[in-house]
């Protein structure tokens, strides 16, 4: 049995050596690496780039539309003479050139409102990227604290296994000396095997938690990661319950949470899109100008000679400039339908903003309730650990003297381990909860903007 325990110790020592060969990662470093290498963020960044280009193009739409045109065609047999518009039986070719330019002078402010809406949508996409970074940071933080939890359970399991090993060695010597029956050795061995299994399960859970963090970070090629030591606040259990103000945290969160800011921008964009749709009711005034010329093989002078190419281009030149006014009278109510649709989109955007604000308020409310509850649980669980440790110490001494059975010792030992487990779980839940509340309160928990 000592051989089995030594194998486990050797395995854990090898794991610890490989871990310490790595550089210890802080939470900020894990978050920064994840944001830099996470592929899921790329899709939101591509959307941001697309919305940026849409915004830029909406500005470029204010520029005039300029188009050039040219053609060359060869006519065979009977065709209309471009010079006289009389059908002739002759082979000839013609060549035309034109340049036109148009610009909208007034379009019911549609383009201006479209620019403003596109700018707001682009701003919302920027906030979406930031929101995804924060969501990724929270996933990394949860995985980070999961590792710390299972790392603590691994230590507890090692301590429990060492206790069982010591008891097994003690019972084995007592059996050899004839002080105890062989059945006691089997009970001690069963307890040792149970703790060996618990240690293996803790090790597996610890490695699984590491894998979860590595996957969130997209830390390719690694199967383990070493984190900075977890420093407990020793005065935490001695403090009283700290009261936090929900309204204060909610107001702070409303001022910077990207999800809220993005929805606010989309609601504002919906208003501009509605104004742009209403522009369909107004007349459209445009300015147009053009220049055209051409060469025709049928153009001849009085001597019957085809007029030269350059001379035709000069003589056939035509220019124009003018205004056009398009007044919408009846278009199948399409403009009215478009306005109604945009009104609905505005209502939907405002409702989504209200939903996001409500969800944020409820989330902070739940966090504060958990925060208050966990402060009490930390103090109570710490006292429970002290009491169970004392009970186990007494049971161990009585067991060594043969005053209690192995079942009584096992019960005290399991209660002590459970108390340690509960205290560790409550403590890490509190740190996770506190970090989340600090984030909503505007404190630099992740330093995302600074590092990225």
pLDDT band at residue 411, thresholds of 50, 70 and 90? confident
For 316, other C-beta atoms within 10 Å of its C-beta total 17
Query: What is the structure's pLDDT at 15?
Result: 46
Residue 330 is predicted with a pLDDT of 85
Q: How far is CA 113 from CA 51, 58, 334, in A?
A: 16, 10, 19
pTM here is 0.81
- Per-domain boundaries in the chain: 2-37+109-282+334-451
Work out the angle at residue 287's Cα, subtended by the Cα atoms of residues 283 and 290, and round it to the nearest 5 degrees: 145
- Cα 425 to Cα 410: distance, rounded to the nearest angstrom: 22
Structure tokens at 256: 């910077």
User: CA Rg, the chain, in Å?
Assistant: 40
Tens-digit pLDDT profile for residues 261-300: 999 999 999 999 999 999 999 999 999 999 999 888 777 7
Q: Are 201 and 153 in contact (CB under 8 A)?
A: no
Which of the four pLDDT bands, split at 50, 70 and 90, describes residue 451? very low
Give the torsion through C-alpha atoms of 29, 34, 37, 41, to 10 deg: -140
Which is more confident, 338 or 312? 338
The torsion angle over the Cα atoms of residues 169, 173, 178 and 181, rounded to 10 degrees, is 10
The answer to which of 17-26, 262-271, 427-436, 438-447 has the lowest mean pLDDT is: 17-26
Rounded CA gap, 373 and 31, in Å? 28
Please state, in angstroms and rounded to a whole number, the distance separating the CA atoms of residues 306 and 56.
Answer: 51
Q: Quick check: 79 pLDDT over 80?
A: no
99-103, 259-263, 374-378, range with the lowest pLDDT: 374-378
Query: Which pLDDT value is given to residue 238?
Result: 58
Lowest mean pLDDT among 28-32, 61-65, 178-182, 352-356: 178-182
pLDDT at 452 > cutoff 90: no
The CATH architecture assigned to 2-37+109-282+334-451 reads Up-down Bundle (1.20)
Work out the burial of residue 43: count CB atoms within 10 Å of its CB; fewer than 13 is exposed, 13-18 middle, 19 or more buried: exposed
pLDDT tens-digit profile of 208-224? 999 999 999 999 888 88
């Amino acid at each position: 049995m000592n051989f089995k325990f030594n194998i486990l110790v050797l395995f854990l020592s090898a794991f610890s050596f490989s871990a310490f060969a790595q550089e210890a990662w802080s939470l900020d470093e894990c978050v920064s690496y994840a944001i830099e290498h996470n592929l899921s963020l790329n899709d939101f960044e591509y959307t941001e780039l697309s919305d940026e280009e849409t915004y830029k193009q909406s500005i470029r739409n204010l520029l005039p539309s300029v188009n050039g045109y040219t053609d060359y065609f060869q006519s065979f047999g009977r065709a209309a003479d471009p010079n006289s518009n009389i059908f002739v039986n002759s082979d000839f070719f013609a060549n035309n050139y034109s340049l036109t330019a148009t610009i909208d002078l007034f379009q019911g402010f549609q383009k201006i409102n479209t620019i403003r809406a596109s700018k707001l949508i682009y701003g919302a996409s920027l906030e979406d990227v930031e929101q995804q970074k924060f969501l990724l940071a929270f996933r990394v933080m949860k995985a980070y604290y999961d590792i710390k939890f299972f790392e603590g359970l691994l230590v507890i399991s090692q301590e429990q296994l060492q206790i069982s090993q010591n008891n097994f060695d003690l019972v084995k010597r007592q059996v050899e000396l004839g002080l105890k029956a062989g059945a006691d050795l089997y009970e001690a061995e069963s307890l040792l095997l149970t703790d060996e299994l618990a240690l293996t399960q803790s090790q597996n859970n610890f490695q699984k938690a590491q894998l979860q963090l590595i996957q969130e970070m997209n830390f390719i090629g690694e199967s383990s990661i070493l984190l900075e030591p977890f420093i407990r606040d020793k005065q935490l259990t001695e403090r009283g319950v700290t009261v936090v103000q929900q309204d204060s945290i909610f107001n702070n969160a409303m001022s910077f949470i990207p999800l809220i800011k993005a929805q606010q921008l989309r609601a504002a964009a919906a208003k501009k899109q509605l104004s742009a749709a209403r522009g369909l009711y107004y007349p459209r005034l445009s300015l147009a100008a053009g220049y055209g010329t051409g060469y025709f093989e049928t153009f001849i002078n009085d001597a019957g000679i085809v007029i030269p190419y350059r001379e035709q281009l000069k003589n056939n030149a035509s220019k124009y400039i003018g205004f056009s006014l398009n007044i919408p009278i009846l278009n199948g109510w399409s403009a009215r339908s478009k306005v109604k649709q945009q009104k609905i989109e505005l209502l939907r955007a405002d409702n989504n903003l209200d939903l996001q604000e409500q969800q944020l308020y409820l989330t902070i409310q739940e966090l504060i309730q958990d925060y208050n509850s966990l402060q009490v649980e930390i103090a109570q669980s710490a006292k429970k650990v002290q009491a169970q440790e004392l009970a186990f110490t007494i049971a161990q001494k009585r067991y060594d003297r043969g005053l209690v059975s192995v079942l009584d010792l096992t019960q005290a030992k399991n209660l002590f381990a459970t108390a340690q487990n509960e205290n560790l779980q409550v403590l890490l839940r509190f740190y996770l909860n506190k970090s989340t509340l600090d984030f909503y309160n505007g404190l630099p928990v992740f330093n995302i903007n600074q590092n990225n």
